Structure 1
Amino acid sequence: MQLRGVGSAPQVCITGPEEGGVQVVCTASGWFPKPQVQWRDLSGEKFLIFSEAHAQDAKGLFSVEAALVVKDHSVGNMIFSVLSPILGQEKAMAIFIPEPFFPQSSPWKSAFLVSLTRGLPMLGLLLFGAGYYAQRGHSAKLQELHEQETLCQAKEQDRQAKEEMLKARDWRKTIYLAAWRKAQLYAGRH
């Protein structure tokens, strides 16, 4: 009897920037015989260059780890699949890499490079601009907090005014009832 097994579904994670792109690593375990792996885009086009490592545990089952560096942010959607060549069974996992993960798409990187090539005046201007916007945001936040505080104070004054009105109404009601009782007592005597 020959051991055969379809292992776990692939697990995919983004491990960070690497070689001007984003490194994506996929792992799967519990496969026998040694599985075949592949990366492909959503149209089915295969990525041919990636690293692959296999390990076999004490039970004879294989684990696989495959890493791919994606350099083009237009290839943000991809599929990693693990295939048992004998059983013909495949397990796949799709992944989407958002554009901000790609180093070259970061607007701060290009701004930083421009400031380095233009010298310190440009860097100073960028820092001044960033400081100005931070101060403006801070001032707007302080203004918003002040408006909230004013609103809370106005609500508290309204609450106190209503409370005073209710106390005054209750006091007038008490006086009225006392006068009413006196009038009934007086009317009862005559």
Structure 2
Amino acid sequence: MMGKIPMFSPGSTVSSALPGYVALCLALQIHRLASEFTVIGPDRPIIASLGGEAVLPCHLSPRMSAENMELRWFRSEFSIVVHLYRDGQDQYRHQMPEYQGRTELLKGDIKNGSVSLRIRDIRPSDNGQYKCFFQSGVSYKDAFLELQVAGLGSAPAISVEGHQDRGIRVVCRSAGWYPEPEAEWRDLLGKILQSDSEKISPEANGLFQAEIAIVLTEESNQKVSCCVRNPQLNQERESEISVAELFFPRVNPGLVALGVILAILAVLILLASYCIWRQHRAKETLRSELESEKEKLRSDLEREKGQCLGPVGIAITLFEKMWYRNRSASVSLSTSPKLQIHSRGMGKTDGTELASRCRLQG
């Protein structure tokens, strides 16, 4: 049997309470709808570059205002937060020290239940999982997010480190990578070459350094390149070196210029030395010729003098010697007897007079 549907007269007590029941039902429905929401995060990892910034978005479904909700981003522990929004404002009391001053809640679309957390100055320690948490009353939901930090390192530096196995050992180094990079040697056509050693090591700042070595011979390709790649960003840095330059080093233009200048200076010095030597030799030759001429003149003079005086010259010479000898012995010339010289065709005459006559005749 079917029961009768109760009827309420307009003046009954139940009829007067109907608006209260309706309001209660609406409130219960609203509460039920409010408790039935989900939090949706990005469906793929968020990649951020070192030193840059990352935005971690979350939104509610269905759309509803989150202004009066509690919004929390945290990592491993619920109580230690990356960022907290409660009672309509940001709360920093329980924020992790490493995130202080680096986070900002973007609330431009919070009335539609969409918010994002911005993290500035990305570091290697920011890499990993995050959880965004929404709570309204006793209802709460959350969603996971993944932040992948990536960084390109320095351009590879190639250096030669001696001979090995009848070749030259060449080492390539590059630092400042995150996460661990991949390194390889390639030939001119892009073919991967067998490396002698490879090492990826962590640095003090949490980044990574790559070091890869290869032994090159004269038979190796014309050029080889060292490539270091970030697998997350799918970007790489590359440096190349010519094998010919290793075995036949390129001449430094500066050294060539220096060599030319030194050669020119050497030639100039030799020319100057030769000129000085020629001048000195000419002076010596002239001096020798003058001495010879002087000796010749002296000989001619003596010969002419002998021809002019004859025996008288010999006597005068003997007289002069005796005079100098007597003078040195402090003997007065006046006390010595006059030297009488007899010549053919001449009478007895003073030697000095004969010398004077000879000079006059000459």
TM-score, normalised via structure 1 length: 0.53
User: Which amino acid is 2:226 matched to?
Assistant: F
Per-residue CA shift, 1:15-66, capped at 9, x if unaligned?
1111110000000011011111111111212202331011112332110110
The match for 2:274 is 150
Bigger Rg, which one: 2
The match for 1:53 is 199
2: CA distance, partners of 1:36 / 1:13: 19
- What is the CA distance between 1:99 and its match in structure 2? 6.0
Answering whether residue 175 of structure 2 is matched by residue 29 of structure 1, we say yes
Match of 1:79 among 225, 232, 238: 225
2: CA distance, partners of 1:143 / 1:5: 59
Match of 2:208 among 30, 41, 62: 62
Per-residue CA shift, 1:69-126, capped at 9, x if unaligned?
0123442411111011110111000112336638xxxxxxxxxxxxxxxxxxxxxxxx
The match for 1:13 is 159
1: CA distance, partners of 2:223 / 2:198: 20
Conservation of the 8 A alpha-carbon contact between 1:76 and 1:99: no
2: CA distance, partners of 1:66 / 1:74: 17
Corresponding residue SS for 1:150: helix
Conservation of the 8 A alpha-carbon contact between 1:73 and 1:99: no
User: Which amino acid is 1:150 matched to?
Assistant: Y
The match for 1:40 is 186
User: Which amino acid is 1:66 matched to?
Assistant: I
Conservation of the 8 A alpha-carbon contact between 1:51 and 1:68: yes
Conservation of the 8 A alpha-carbon contact between 1:14 and 1:23: yes
2: CA distance, partners of 1:86 / 1:39: 20
Q: Which has the higher strand share?
A: 2
Corresponding residue SS for 1:2: strand
Corresponding residue SS for 2:190: coil
1: CA distance, partners of 2:196 / 2:220: 18
Distance 1:38 1:146, change over 3 A: same
Unmatched tracts of structure 2, length 5 or more: 1-146, 249-265, 279-362
User: Which amino acid is 1:43 matched to?
Assistant: L
Distance 1:88 1:143, change over 3 A: closer
2: CA distance, partners of 1:34 / 1:16: 28
Unmatched tracts of structure 1, length 5 or more: 103-141, 155-190
- What is the CA distance between 1:147 and its match in structure 2? 3.5
The match for 2:239 is 93
Corresponding residue SS for 1:75: coil
Count of matched residue positions in the alignment of Structure 1 and Structure 2: 116
Percent of paired sites with the same residue: 34
Corresponding residue SS for 1:98: helix
Corresponding residue SS for 1:149: helix
Conservation of the 8 A alpha-carbon contact between 1:33 and 1:62: yes
Distance 1:72 1:3, change over 3 A: same
- What is the CA distance between 1:144 and its match in structure 2? 8.1
Distance 1:146 1:60, change over 3 A: closer
1: CA distance, partners of 2:245 / 2:185: 19
Answering whether residue 127 of structure 2 is matched by residue 3 of structure 1, we say no
Distance 1:151 1:13, change over 3 A: farther
